[in-house]
Structures are given as C-alpha cells and as structure tokens.
Amino acid sequence: MGNNSLEFYSGARKMYSWRGVIDNCKDRRVITLFALGFSAGLPILLVFSTLSLWLKEAGMARADITMLSWAGLGYGFKYVWAPLVDRMPAPLLTQAMGQRRSWLLISQISVIIAMLGMAWTDPAHSITAMAGFAVLLGFSSATQDIVIDAYRIEIADVDFQAFLSSTYIAGYRVAMVVAGAGAFEIATLMGSTETNYVYDAWAWTYSAMAAFMLVGVITSFMIREPEIRRNAEDHLESTSDHARFFLVFLICVAAFVACFMVSSDVVVTAKAALGEVTGKPFARTMIETVRLGFAVGIAVFVGRILLEMNVASKAVVSNAYIGPFRDFFTRYGKNALLILCLIALYRSSDIVMGAIANVFYVDIGFDKQTIGRISKGFGLAMTIVGSFAGGILALRYGVMKILLAGAILSAASNVLFAVLAAMEPGIGMLTVVIAIDNLSAGIAVAAFVAYLSALTSISFTATQYALFSSIMLLLPKLLAGYSGGMVDGVGYEAFFIGTALLGIPVTMLVVMVARRVPPDGDSRETLPGIKQIKE
C-alpha cells in the first residue's frame, strides 16, 4: 500500500465534518451507551484496584493481593461462554424482553448479588469466601460486557462506532471514579485507614456500589431490543440443544474449578521447596502459570469427552465456537494471526501497570483520599477528554493512525511512573503523571474499541467481539497477577520501565497491520439484517 499504508479505515469509511460530529451528540443512542458504559465500568475496580486497597488495609501481603486480581480473569475467558449469551434464550425473559435485554438484566442482577456478597464478607477472616464472590463479580461483569458490546455493535453502522465507543468509555470512566475515588471517600469517612482497618466501612462502601448498579438495570428496561438477522443455523437449534450445551459448559467449569482447587496443596509444597515469593518471585510465577494451564487443559479434556458421549450436539458446539473463528480467518486470511497478535498485546503495558498502581501510590506515601481525588477524580476528566478526542480523531483521520498514536502514548506514560518512583513523593508530579496516563489511555482505548468493532461480523456479534476482547485481556491480566511478585523482585522503577518496553512490539504490530491488511468491505455492512435503532 506504499506510503499511504496508514490510511487504513480513513479512506474506506465515511468522513464526518465537525458539524456532523456535533450533531451526533444529540443522538439518543449516545445517552444510552453512556448509561450502559457506567453500568459496565462500575464493577471492574471493585474486583481490581479498589479491592486491592481493601485487602491491603485488611493486612494481606502485596503478592497475594495482586494474585487475587485473577478473580477478574473472567474478562479474559469470556469468549468461552459468549456463545451461550449470544444464542441461548434466557427462560421466560427472552420472550418478554428479547435476547440482548434479557441477558443484560440477568448479568446486572448477578453483579449486584456479588457486590453484596463481598460487602458481607470480611477478608481478614474469610478470604476464601471473598475470593469466591470476587470471581462471581468478575464473571457477571464480563457477561454484562458481552451483551453491551453486542448491543452497541448491532444498533449502529461502522462509521458511528467510534463515536459510540467514546461515549461508552466516558460512562465507563465516570463509573470507575465512583467505584474508585467514591469508594475510597466512603471508606475513609467511615473510619477505615491503613493503620486502622474498619470492616464495616468497606461493607457499606460495597453496598453503596451495588445500589449504583440500578442505573444499568433501569436502562435495560428503557431501551429497545435491536433487530438483526441471525445465522440460519440458529433457527435449527432447539431448547434441548441449548440446555445440553449449557450442561456441558457447567460441567467443564466445575472440572476447571475442582482441578484448580485440588492442585493448591501441590502448589504450596512446590513454593515451600523453592522459597518465599520475596526470594523467588519468578519461580512462583511459573508454578501458578502451570497450575492455571493444567486446569484449563482438564476442562477442555472433559468437554471433549462429553461431546464424544453426545451429551451436547457437536453441530451446535461447532457453530458456536468454530463458526466465529472460521468467519474471521475467511475474511482476513493469512493476516488474521497478525491481527490477533495486535489484539493480544495492544493494552498490555497499561493493564499490567494498572494492577499495582494503587498499591504503588500507597507505598510512596500517598493516603487513600489523595489517591482517590487525583487518580480517580482528576484522572476521570483527563480520560473523558482522551476518549472523546480518540473517537473524534478516529472519525476524522482514521482508526489506524489514532491506534498507533495511542500505543506510543500509553507506553511512554509508563516511563513517567518510573520517574515518579525515583522521586520524593509530591502531589504536583503525581497529578502530571496521572493526567498524561489517563489522557493517553482514553485516546488508545477509544480507537481500539472502534477497531475491534469494525473487525466484528454481525453474524457472530457477541461471540466474536468477546473473542477479541478476551484475547485483548487474557495475557495482560495473567501478567498483572504476577505484578506484585515482579515488584518484590526488581523494584518499582525497573518494573515500570519493563511495562513501557511492552509498547515496542505493539507499535510495530500496528504499523504492520496497517500496511498489510486492506479494508475488507466490512461484512457487517453487507448483511441486510442489521437494523439501526435510535433510542
């Protein structure tokens, strides 16, 4: 494609004037996506950084805190159950509300139950129960993401996705402030600090967060179901097919959990033989990776046996899991693997760094309220500016150019954290670093969500987008779970420099994809079944 290689998506899509961009702000779908973004963004910090601060006040070790971030691995594995959400009707609700709205409501109620379960559990005395509710929260929140992503893609054409992505991210970030800065304020005002842990303060905090989820529940009742043409194979699947498919899924999940739990004694013995985490953090990392991989392998093995026993229809499973892969590789051919590598690595630098960020702020001397006001409060404004800027610039100049800019900015901002780690703690420098980091993240994520949406076929909306987002999160989340051990081993400065270096292969991949992958005509637009709805 020569010197114009970075024009991918800029010349292939409709170009909006500045007036057109302003007019788009009046579309009711924008408000809908803001509200759904809020509902999606609220749980994520409650299973990651906010929870990590609660656990730190409860007296848990740093390495164990970041390891518990694996409770959010549901975000990385959501492709596994996305076909169920995409294809299986929810009993009673789907007939009354439609496929998307019914699953949206189910996932939101499950999120509320998980939040209340965490609120009623003191991690200082029941860490196993807390971990269980955290896993439920991650699973339920990931399910909600599956539905919202499918809904967003199905209600608008490709040209409008960048703008909808921006408003979705804005709502998402507002919710993160509520679950971050807001949660810190509530817990502090009720008396819990690092030196004076008060369980009731955190219990009321998480209960308040559960109440905020009503925003999503109300939105689910107010929106309309998108009307699209589904795959022909979907109409051939009976209720019995779906039930048997769901049964196989549950058995595989049970096999994974059982294997992971049973292997804990072996892991404890291995860790004891290799030494404490402070002495051999990378050995611990390898042990936990093998343990996770073994549990996944057992689950897959059990699933294959059940299919051979005809517990579920092989045709249904093939349509659910093989179909989205076949469609993607058919459309992109030999470049499909290159695109998947880009998806897997694009957000690695900021996700790996983000798992330890709040613990880092505390370790260098900032209190919980300062962290909340600057990192979550002021950071919100910068992220919203960045997300809107990313969406608007993607409309004007093309997704790939902004994707490249976002990758460079996100990696470079991590270098500033290394500088902050080497300095005496000061609010001024903290503010500058957080401003640049959030602005960069907003631009990068807005462009990336628009890019993933353009890759998605309407034939497999929920499943295929879940596949992309699972690939996007899986490797970074795995690495993030080890971030505490890494910091113990090499220190904060080297750790942040290492996360910044992750941006080098990402930048190279963006350039390679822009040069080698031409516009494909977008399979979403060629399907007459898509019907835009304006709420």
Backbone angles phi, psi at 504, to 5 degrees: -65, -55
User: How far apart, in whole angstroms, are the C-alpha atoms of residue 193 and residue 54?
Assistant: 9
Q: Compute how many other C-beta atoms are within 10 angstroms of the C-beta atom of residue 275.
A: 12
Tokens of 183: 């949660």
Tokens of 376: 């979550």
Q: What type of residue sits at position 300?
A: V
Supply angle C-alpha 532, 534, 535, rounded to 5. Answer: 135
Res. 10: pLDDT tops 60: no
Instruction: State the alpha helices, DSSP H only, in 223-347.
Output: 239-262, 264-274, 281-308, 314-317, 323-332, 336-345
pLDDT at 219: 97
- 379-383: long-range contacts, CB 8 A cutoff, minimum separation 24: 379/177, 379/434, 379/435, 379/437, 379/438, 380/173, 380/174, 380/176, 380/177, 380/181, 380/438, 382/434, 382/435, 382/436, 382/438, 382/439, 382/442, 383/169, 383/173, 383/438, 383/439, 383/441, 383/442
Domain total in the chain: 2
Give 188-241 as a 3 state SS string.
HHCCCCCCCCCHHHHHHHHHHHHHHCHHHHHHHHHCCCCECCCCHHHHHCCHHH
User: How far apart, in whole angstroms, are the C-alpha atoms of residue 525 and residue 476?
Assistant: 32
Q: Where does a domain end: 268, 295, 312?
A: 312
User: How far apart, in whole angstroms, are the C-alpha atoms of residue 357 and residue 375?
Assistant: 10
Judge if 213 and 277 occupy the same domain: no
**Domain CATH number, residue 92:** 1.20.1250.20
Report pLDDT digits (tens) over 150-184.
999 888 777 677 778 888 988 998 898 899 888 98
Q: Is 78 within the bounds of a domain?
A: yes
Q: Around 416, how many Cα atoms within 13 Å sit in the side-chain half-sphere?
A: 18
Res. 18: pLDDT tops 50: yes
Judge if 285 and 408 occupy the same domain: no
Q: Is 441 within the bounds of a domain?
A: yes
Judge if 326 and 308 occupy the same domain: no
pLDDT bin (cut points 50, 70, 90) of residue 45 is confident
Judge if 82 and 192 occupy the same domain: yes
Judge if 270 and 217 occupy the same domain: no
Q: Is 533 within the bounds of a domain?
A: no
Q: Around 38, how many Cα atoms within 13 Å sit in the side-chain half-sphere?
A: 20
Judge if 324 and 452 occupy the same domain: yes
Judge if 205 and 248 occupy the same domain: no
Report pLDDT digits (tens) over 245-281.
888 888 988 888 788 777 766 666 665 665 544 445 5
User: Bridge partners of 227?
Assistant: 531
52-67: average pLDDT: 79
Judge if 109 and 210 occupy the same domain: yes
Tokens of 33: 């996506």
User: How far apart, in whole angstroms, are the C-alpha atoms of residue 490 and residue 13?
Assistant: 46
Q: Compute how many other C-beta atoms are within 10 angstroms of the C-beta atom of residue 120.
A: 13
Q: Where does a domain end: 297, 312, 327?
A: 312
Q: Is 351 within the bounds of a domain?
A: yes
Q: Is the pTM of this model over 0.85?
A: no
Which residue segment(s) compose the domain that 456 sits in?
Answer: 2-224+313-526
Report pLDDT digits (tens) over 271-318.
566 554 444 556 666 777 787 788 889 988 998 999 889 888 888 778
Judge if 26 and 139 occupy the same domain: yes
pLDDT at 498: 87
Supply angle C-alpha 218, 220, 226, rounded to 5. Answer: 150
Q: Is 91 within the bounds of a domain?
A: yes
Q: Is 248 within the bounds of a domain?
A: yes
Q: Is 50 within the bounds of a domain?
A: yes
Judge if 105 and 122 occupy the same domain: yes
Backbone angles phi, psi at 227, to 5 degrees: -105, 115
- Give the CA dihedral 70, 71, 75, 79, nearest 10 degrees: 90
Report pLDDT digits (tens) over 377-399.
788 788 888 888 887 887 777 78
Percent of the chain with pLDDT over 90: 23
Judge if 284 and 211 occupy the same domain: no
* Residue 389: alpha-carbon gap to chain centroid: 21
Q: Where does a domain end: 255, 284, 312?
A: 312
Judge if 498 and 349 occupy the same domain: yes
User: Bridge partners of 531?
Assistant: 227
The end-to-end CA distance of the chain, in Å, is 40
CB 79 within 8 A of CB 145: no
CB 81 within 8 A of CB 249: yes
Q: Is 230 within the bounds of a domain?
A: no
Q: Can you give the length of the chain in residues? A: 535
Among 42-46, 95-99, 267-271, the least confident range: 267-271
Tokens of 453: 């949406």
DSSP, collapsed to helix, strand or coil, labels residue 102 as: helix
Average pLDDT over the chain, rounded to an integer:
81
